[in-house]
């Protein structure tokens, strides 16, 4: 009698088990729990107190929430124009807009300037729930939609559609996370590890 085939999900959970321990040990090393204490802090306040780079701050805290080590505050997303820079390297004829929150935009601009791509990649500051997205032939959102409930997901998708011409394309790069951001620890850890949060045009 042949043994049953191994469960692929179990294999993946075992193979990536160190992700969760790494997140927890990093939090301990940063003295995160003593910093928060019995009070409450926003993600920005906690990130600043710990001296964290904003690029991975929100996925880091959300992963700790999903792992039941923290209780969550509100978060926002941002980007460092990584996708734009990668594609720009391979396709010299393309130009890009990178849409970021105002506090993240300077970090993206430094990365763009360092790459020598300031003439092809423009940083546009704004809030994607309040502002229109810049017009473009292709709109991409990388690990953004999973942060929001269905209603807000639809708002973002509609904004992307409004920014596109007829025949344009919307590309979503996602590992979906539950609306409450409390159950799918694997999804949050997957989001935290590649650390490609944000959306680019």
Positions annotated as catalytic residues are 146
Among left, alpha and beta (phi > 0; psi -120 to 50; other), residue 28 is: alpha
Q: How many angstroms separate the CA atoms of 180 and 72, rounded? A: 10
192, 61 Cβ separation under 8 angstroms: no
3-class DSSP assignment, residue 91: coil
Cα–Cα–Cα angle for 85, 148, 164, rounded to 5 degrees: 50
């Amino acid at each position: 009698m042949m043994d049953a085939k191994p469960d692929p999900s179990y294999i993946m959970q075992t193979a990536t088990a160190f992700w969760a321990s790494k997140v927890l040990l990093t939090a301990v090393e940063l003295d995160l729990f003593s910093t928060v204490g019995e009070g409450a802090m926003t993600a920005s306040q906690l990130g600043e107190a710990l001296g964290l780079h904003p690029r991975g701050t929100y996925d880091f805290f959300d992963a700790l929430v999903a792992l039941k080590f923290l209780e969550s505050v509100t978060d926002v997303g941002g980007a460092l124009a990584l996708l734009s820079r990668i594609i720009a390297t391979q396709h010299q004829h393309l130009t890009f807009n990178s849409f970021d929150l105002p506090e993240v935009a300077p970090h993206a601009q430094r990365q763009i300037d360092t790459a020598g791509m300031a003439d092809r990649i423009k940083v546009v500051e704004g809030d994607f729930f309040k502002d229109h997205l810049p017009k473009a032939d292709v709109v991409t959102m990388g690990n953004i939609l999973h942060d929001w409930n269905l209603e807000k997901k639809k708002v973002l998708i509609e904004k992307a559609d409004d920014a596109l011409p007829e025949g344009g394309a919307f590309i979503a790069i996602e590992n979906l996370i539950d609306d409450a951001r409390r159950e799918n620890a694997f999804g949050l850890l997957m989001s935290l590890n590649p650390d490609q949060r944000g959306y680019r045009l």
